[in-house]
């Protein structure tokens, strides 16, 4: 295992300590309890927006904490759900009297633990709404999931919903927009190589030198099929076709197109994929109104990419464009 | 070779086509001649700031084109200098009557070709100044370099000098600030794995499963020594010590601390390195006034990192903080 780490069991806490040191202008970090918290919370009258999940997907979620996006993130151990206590502490900390939205990726552990945290918070009189992201068209059930997995749309949802929450919209409306974003987006990913969980010390799965996995999950869980390595154009087509079909995208519609790196893939390759993507969409007369190219929801050092398409309307565009200031996404301020 | 590409010889042009599609609000791209150009150039009365070099280091330099940073970038083939014609075309295009600054990393091909382009531009009556970055403390001469190599400081220099150029400062002052930034910064890198140049199809060098290369160059050229894999804390110390010594950093000084990923290293590991770095600097009573953590000057999919320290004063701080809007760095707008 070749990694820039010290003890495998210390990776998450040391990375959080590094985040705190690098971004003390934006966030407070409770390294022991593993919480990344927007520096100026609670904001009175604003819905608190929190998310969380296993570590190893950086910058998600800690890198999305700040003005216009998340109020707090609860990172668990690598690829392991955070515990309800973390989520409850985050909920209490960000509650500014207008309630708290939990953004939960659809993995069994995350869903159960966020449910328990929501019940504990409700018992304390904090109003909580939850939205579950399940945008991955690759598989119906999987190793850690009943139903579809939550992947790339989560990034876009946290940005858009964070933008609305900043206007002090009520919890019901913030939750409703969150569900709308999830409904409007679909994703699919692929891997050229496996990743290695630090405490495991060996690759999560094996792929031959001439193989790739189509429909991979963000924890290396199996996808749709293992096939021979193909060109970027062919790979892009394999990812885009099921997304377009599942979303029912039609000629004349506009989307946000997100090409995401899995952690070990360099930017030059992501732009090659984006070039193929824009050609395919142009061929279908689907226009790309906004784009995002980079590694935002990763799987440690896995090489590969995912594509997310989000059907846009004026409301989603407005809150996507709204100012944001986090470690990983920043514009307008 | 596992990469998200089509034909190896088409990677650069396809990535440029993808950049154009993703960032048409910021840049024009001449895919054939391989030029990335700020959309609103020439800006009358503003010094044009250009840079360039081999591809494979993305987002450098194309991702740094925009308001407050570069006016144009000339990417060559992967790890290969662009040609004088590209540089001349960029110089002509960005010249707004106040002259043009060439920012050149110290590699023999880049230096010779930028010299030729500067002569050709001068013959057309365009005033050109050049600054060469040579911040890598690892080795004195190397495979492609007489003297030290230009690495991480180049990123910081392009931001800071671009900030000054935006104020319509004269060429002499812009060039002088560029030389100051180079003088104030030092870097050193390391690799856990090699990279593979697409047209070569095999790794540039071989490293054993328990080995790493300290002092690696950004093209995989040899560093100071090949040693056994060590912890992040030990690696950080190996990189920081020569930088601090060479810069003569003393207790009480303040720096910009830049932890850079080589392309295949995930963000969670970069934050672990940053955590070690901030502890080491705290121990020396050197304060980190600004930081940058991410993959900005890469070597394709190489796993590893580099550290750059830039001694800060009020002038450098001011132009570092100035607004910037490029594909890769954005704040204040």
Q: Is some CB atom of chain A closer than 8 A to the CB atom of B24?
A: no
Please judge whether B2 and A212 are an interchain contact, meaning their C-beta atoms are less than 8 angstroms apart.
yes
In Å, what is the CA distance from B15 to each residue of A276, A286, B23, B29, B52?
10, 21, 12, 11, 15
Q: Residue B41 has what pLDDT?
A: 97
Contacts of B212 in chain A (CB under 8 A): 2
Q: Residue A74 has what pLDDT?
A: 98
Of the residues A266, A302, A328, the best mutation for testing chain B's interface (the one with the most B CB atoms within 10 Å of its CB) is A266
Share of residues in chain A with pLDDT > 90 (%): 96
Bridge partner residues of A78 (DSSP): A55
Q: Is some CB atom of chain B closer than 8 A to the CB atom of A241?
A: no
Q: Are strands A100-105 and A128-133 parallel, antiparallel or unpaired?
A: parallel
- B136 is written with which tokens? 């890598």
Please judge whether A209 and B2 are an interchain contact, meaning their C-beta atoms are less than 8 angstroms apart.
yes
Mean pLDDT along residues B111-121: 98
A143, pLDDT greater than 80: no
Residue-wise DSSP of A131-179? EEE--B-S-SSBTTBSSPPP-THHHHHHHHHHHHHTTT--HHHHHHHHH
Mean pLDDT along residues A248-267: 98
Say how far apart CA B95 and CA B67 lie, in whole Å.
Answer: 15
Catalytic residue among B23, B57, B102, B184: B57
Q: Residue A146 has what pLDDT?
A: 85
Q: Are strands A48-55 and A72-78 parallel, antiparallel or unpaired?
A: parallel
- A292 is written with which tokens? 């995002």
Among all residues of chain B, which has the CA nearest to that of A2?
Answer: B192
Return the number of other C-beta atoms located less than 10 Å from residue A117's C-beta.
29
What are the extents of the domains in chain A?
10-184+322-331, 185-317
Q: Which stretch of DSSP H or E encloses residue A202?
A: none
Q: Is some CB atom of chain B closer than 8 A to the CB atom of A6?
A: yes
**Could you identify the residue written with the tokens 């909920």?**
A91
Q: Which of B11, B12, B274 sits opposite A21 (nearest CB)?
A: B274
Please judge whether B193 and A2 are an interchain contact, meaning their C-beta atoms are less than 8 angstroms apart.
yes
Alpha helices by DSSP H, listed for chain A, are 11-22, 84-94, 108-123, 153-165, 171-184, 232-247, 267-283, 314-321
Give B126→chain A minimum CA distance, Å: 32
Say how far apart CA A75 and CA B131 lie, in whole Å.
Answer: 44
Mean pLDDT along residues A90-108: 98
Q: Residue A3 has what pLDDT?
A: 98
Is the interface score ipTM higher than 0.95? yes
**Could you identify the residue written with the tokens 């804390």?**
B233
CA atoms lying within 13 Å on the CB side of residue A98: 22
- A161 is written with which tokens? 């919903």
Say how far apart CA B306 and CA B295 lie, in whole Å.
Answer: 10
Of the residues A240, A267, A292, A302, the best mutation for testing chain B's interface (the one with the most B CB atoms within 10 Å of its CB) is A267
Q: Which CATH class is domain B185-317?
A: alpha beta
B297, B154 Cβ separation under 8 angstroms: yes
Q: Residue A144 has what pLDDT?
A: 80
Mean pLDDT along residues A164-175: 98
What's the predicted TM-score (pTM) here? 0.98
Predicted confidence (pLDDT) per residue in B137-188, tens digit: 998 887 788 899 999 999 999 999 999 999 999 999 999 999 999 999 999 9
* Catalytic residue status for B57: yes
Return the number of other C-beta atoms located less than 10 Å from residue B233's C-beta.
18
Is B9 in a helix, a strand, or coil?
Answer: helix
- Average pLDDT of the residues of chain B: 97
B260, pLDDT greater than 90: yes
* Position A114 confidence tier, pLDDT thresholds 50, 70, 90: very high
Q: Is some CB atom of chain B closer than 8 A to the CB atom of A43?
A: no
Fold of A10-184+322-331: Rossmann fold (3.40.50)
Q: For the purposes of burial, counting CB atoms within 10 Å of the CB of A311, is it exposed (0-12), middle (13-18) or buried (19 or more)?
A: buried
Sign, CA torsion B172/B174/B175/B179: positive
Say how far apart CA B35 and CA B63 lie, in whole Å.
Answer: 12
Q: Are strands A287-294 and A254-261 parallel, antiparallel or unpaired?
A: parallel
Q: Which of B58, B209, B276 sits opposite A268 (nearest CB)?
A: B58
Bridge partner residues of A211 (DSSP): A228
Contacts of B56 in chain A (CB under 8 A): 266, 268
Q: Residue A302 has what pLDDT?
A: 98
**Could you identify the residue written with the tokens 């800071």?**
B160
* Catalytic residue status for B184: no
* Position B309 confidence tier, pLDDT thresholds 50, 70, 90: very high
* Position A281 confidence tier, pLDDT thresholds 50, 70, 90: very high
Q: Which of B21, B267, B273 sits opposite A58 (nearest CB)?
A: B267
Which of B139, B81, B75 is closest to B107 using CA atoms?
B81
**Who contacts A10 (Cβ-Cβ below 8 Å, separation ≥6)?**
none
Q: Residue A142 has what pLDDT?
A: 78
Predicted confidence (pLDDT) per residue in B38-49, tens digit: 999 999 999 999
A50, A72 Cβ separation under 8 angstroms: yes
Predicted confidence (pLDDT) per residue in B191-223, tens digit: 999 999 999 999 999 999 999 999 999 999 988
* Position B262 confidence tier, pLDDT thresholds 50, 70, 90: very high
* Position A237 confidence tier, pLDDT thresholds 50, 70, 90: very high
B267, pLDDT greater than 90: yes
């Amino acid at each position: 295992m070749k990694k820039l780490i010290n003890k495998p069991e210390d990776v998450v806490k040391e990375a959080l300590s590094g985040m705190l040191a690098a971004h003390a202008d934006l966030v407070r970090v409770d390294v022991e309890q593993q919480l990344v918290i927007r520096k100026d919370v609670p904001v009175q009258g604003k819905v608190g927006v929190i998310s969380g999940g296993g570590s190893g997907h950086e910058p998600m979620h800690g890198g999305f904490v700040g003005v216009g996006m998340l109020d707090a993130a609860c990172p668990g151990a690598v690829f392991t759900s955070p515990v309800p206590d973390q989520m409850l502490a985050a909920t209490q900390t960000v509650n500014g009297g207008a309630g708290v939205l939990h953004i939960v990726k659809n993995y069994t552990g995350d869903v159960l633990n966020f449910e328990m945290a929501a019940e504990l918070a409700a018992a304390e009189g904090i109003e909580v709404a939850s939205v579950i992201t399940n945008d991955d068209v690759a598989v119906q059930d999987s190793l850690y999931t009943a139903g579809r997995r939550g992947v790339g749309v989560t990034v876009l949802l946290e940005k858009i919903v964070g933008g609305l929450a900043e206007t002090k919209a009520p919890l019901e409306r913030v939750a409703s927009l969150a569900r709308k974003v999830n409904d409007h987006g679909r994703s699919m990913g692929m891997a050229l190589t496996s990743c290695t969980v630090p405490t495991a010390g060996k690759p999560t799965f094996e792929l031959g030198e001439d193989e790739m996995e189509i429909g991979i999950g963000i924890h290396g869980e199996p996808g749709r099929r293992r096939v021979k390595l193909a060109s970027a154009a062919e790979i892009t087509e394999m990812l885009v076709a099921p997304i377009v079909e599942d979303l029912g995208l039609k000629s004349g519609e506009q989307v946000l197109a997100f090409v995401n790196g899995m952690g070990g893939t360099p930017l030059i390759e992501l732009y090659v994929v984006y070039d193929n993507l824009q050609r395919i969409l142009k061929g279908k007369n689907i226009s790309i109104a906004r784009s995002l190219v980079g590694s935002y929801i990763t799987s440690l050092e896995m090489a590969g990419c995912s594509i997310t398409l989000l059907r846009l309307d004026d409301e989603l565009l407005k809150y996507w464009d709204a100012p944001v200031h986090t470690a990983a996404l920043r514009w307008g301020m």
